[in-house]
Structure 1
């Protein structure tokens, strides 16, 4: 039986997360403050810290609210492929497309230092919003519940190693180089150091990833 206190805590967490989502949507993630969140939620700033260890954790949770389109698209991109190498490429194409369109959000979720075990934060988030996981296929759920891009990528390429299309050493190289290229492009877009559109940035990144794949695959 769910205790009244647990219901109250869950409701408070939702108030603050959804207020954070509203601030991000209206002003951008870089302009989120505890006061703005608290004002929208109808509480004092100090109340936030009764429920979240750090403001960055709350910003992380609020940012996760913007992943719905990516997660929906990811299923479509992966389902259209049969081979593990092609699934890997499609998953990265989808990730680049969405992250380059919203670099601030993806920087918060996948790059910024949150001073905590990120997968534990993800578990806490989906405990608050369990219905967000119910509709997902197991393959997608595995990706969504793993924040570490390296582990996500290696998981997708595991079958390619099993099928002898990749060696363990090649897998490590492909994953490391892919992530470095993505981070470089995302940071470039984030800092307005290029005139690439998100579509152009995605095409360029994917061309490089395909070149790396062709170099290392058997």
Structure 2
């Protein structure tokens, strides 16, 4: 990477970080080009040298926020896990990161703006190339695919194929999990829990109850909960 490219990436980072800070401080609805430019220490004209408009900058800022989730899922797919544990751990990681930052994760994955935000993923990795990023792998399709049905298919097809769950059970289960997740995200936003870990522990209890009731898996809940809750991932990026 030459000096010009390094400087360009630095400028991207300055504006993206400023946008992220403002989302935390004031919320997404309050974002303006002027506020972001002032926060980054540059004028609006400079911002437009690097970004097309506010929507693009906002989307790239949100996508930058979910990188830790992307890397955690990549770590899961590199581990020798059975299908049940991997399914539950994927949801554990999503809940963990989304409860820490519910405003961002619900906007990216579970809002009317999701398709538009995820449409910028190629642009994001053009700005910030990653050796770990590949459109061809399951991690991309699970995390960044704009089609929620396709994401669910990647997540559930292995379990259906192995006979752990029927297609009918899969549709019912996934609808219930999404409803549970979005409801708990709203509670986190409204200060219902002492911290995100409390919300995560409750979510995992509910999740495993739902999974065991709507699958053909015969496992002890306490043992399964302990196994998937205690597993550590390498979160280094």
- Which TM-score band (shorter chain)? 0.7 to 0.9
Residue 187 of structure 2 is matched in structure 1 by 188
Deviation at 1:93, TM superposition (A): 0.6
Residue 196 of structure 2 is matched in structure 1 by 198
* TM-score normalized with structure 1 length: 0.77
Q: Secondary structure at the match of 1:28?
A: helix
Q: Deviations over 1:61-88 (max 9, x none)?
A: 1122222332333334454552222211
User: Structure 1's 147 and 182: CA in aligned 2 closer, same or farther, altered over 3 A?
Assistant: farther
Q: Deviations over 1:18-37 (max 9, x none)?
A: 41323423661615331122
Task: Identify unmatched segments of 5+ residues in structure 1.
Answer: 1-6
* TM-score normalized with structure 2 length: 0.72
Whether the 8 Å contact between 1:174 and 1:212 is mirrored in structure 2 is: yes
Q: Deviations over 1:3-56 (max 9, x none)?
A: xxxx99xx4x97356413234236616153311222326332696499435x24
Residue 16 of structure 2 is matched in structure 1 by 20
CA RMSD of aligned residues (A): 3.3
User: Structure 1's 169 and 45: CA in aligned 2 closer, same or farther, altered over 3 A?
Assistant: farther
User: Structure 1's 41 and 77: CA in aligned 2 closer, same or farther, altered over 3 A?
Assistant: same
User: Structure 1's 148 and 115: CA in aligned 2 closer, same or farther, altered over 3 A?
Assistant: closer
Residue 44 of structure 1 is matched in structure 2 by 44
Greater Cα offset, 166-175 or 106-115: 106-115
Tell me how far apart the structure 2 counterparts of residues 23 and 214 of structure 1 sit (CA, whole Å): 41
Residue 104 of structure 2 is matched in structure 1 by 105
Residue 216 of structure 1 is matched in structure 2 by 214
How many matched pairs? 208
Whether the 8 Å contact between 1:161 and 1:167 is mirrored in structure 2 is: yes
Deviation at 1:216, TM superposition (A): 1.4
Tell me how far apart the structure 1 counterparts of residues 143 and 75 of structure 2 sit (CA, whole Å): 15
Tell me how far apart the structure 2 counterparts of residues 66 and 60 of structure 1 sit (CA, whole Å): 10
Whether the 8 Å contact between 1:157 and 1:171 is mirrored in structure 2 is: yes
